[in-house]
Structure 1
């Protein structure tokens, strides 16, 4: 998740390998947090549901392709109650990010807005590195998630 945030902030893209690795690590985690087929099915259903929602948001131009893929891959890790928490955290962090970008685009110093990194972040009027919010939401959700609790034996 940290790599997704760094890549999205730096180049406004989340490479496919990050989403694929996130999904693969979920399936690698299953033996360590096995809680039955019903729970596994719930995780997969959450992931598929969020994948469909992300695809729709991408098609409507509300979300970038990399963001939609990362959102779906990350959602495999959650149960229904976890995904509500994840979406809440991500929404709050996304709103804060939007405010920072709005203020930064108006008041960023010239040296920052003309640097290669700052230019993409502060001068691109329509782009927002939402991978930052997705990563932050995931990192805040994981310690409270059902999968994490089961893996720790709680």
Structure 2
């Protein structure tokens, strides 16, 4: 049961966040809440000690403090800030740096790709899709949830909780 959260719930929620951000430019609060609830269930069913849970809570709270500040300054969206914090809860401090570096690189590549696409007219078949028109608009931001989700899925197998729950 414990591995279900790691193998199914976490990846599903990450994929859902990425797709929702791509299609709507919003990451619903329910995704971040579900990640927190799923982590709590994972911690209980996996028998994580209070010290481990506290360490992961610290990572989530630290990420929330930084990303909330970035949101307040207008650098990132609120959904992105909450998704980073909820993801940091799962990842913990041990891989948090890698998660943020990979997310930054993926986000940079995504941004450059969008800028390149926005420099050209959309093909007719794609131009009829409302989300494509919205995404193509230069006033629209970048669906950074895609980079955050990709990074989380790349880093998760190297985290201490993954290695603990799924022995090689």
Task: Give the shorter-chain TM-score range.
Answer: over 0.9
**1:135 alignment partner, one of 149, 152, 155:** 149
For residues 110-140 of structure 1, what are the alpha-carbon distances to aligned partners after superposition, in whole Å with 9 as ceiling and x for unaligned? 4234531111111143411010011001111
What's the TM-score, normalizing by structure 2? 0.85
Mean CA deviation greater in 121-130 or 32-41? 32-41
Count of paired positions: 154
Give the equivalent residue in structure 1 for 2:122: 109
What's the TM-score, normalizing by structure 1? 0.93
Gaps in structure 2 of 5+ consecutive residues: 1-13
For residues 71-123 of structure 1, what are the alpha-carbon distances to aligned partners after superposition, in whole Å with 9 as ceiling and x for unaligned? 11111012212101110111111011011111011024242345311111111
Question: Aligned partners of 1:100, 1:113: CA distance in 2, in Å?
Answer: 17
Does 1:12 pair with 2:18?
A: no
Mapping of residues 59-78 of structure 1, within 5 Å: 59-78=72-91
Does 1:46 pair with 2:59?
A: yes
Question: Aligned partners of 1:50, 1:128: CA distance in 2, in Å?
Answer: 20
For the 8 Å contact 2:60–2:92, the answer to whether it is kept is: no
Gaps in structure 1 of 5+ consecutive residues: none
For the 8 Å contact 1:43–1:77, the answer to whether it is kept is: yes
Question: Aligned partners of 2:100, 2:158: CA distance in 1, in Å?
Answer: 14
For the 8 Å contact 2:134–2:140, the answer to whether it is kept is: no
Mean CA deviation greater in 114-123 or 54-63? 114-123
Does 1:91 pair with 2:104?
A: yes
Question: Aligned partners of 1:65, 1:124: CA distance in 2, in Å?
Answer: 20
The structure whose RCO (Cα within 8 Å, separation 6+) is larger is 1
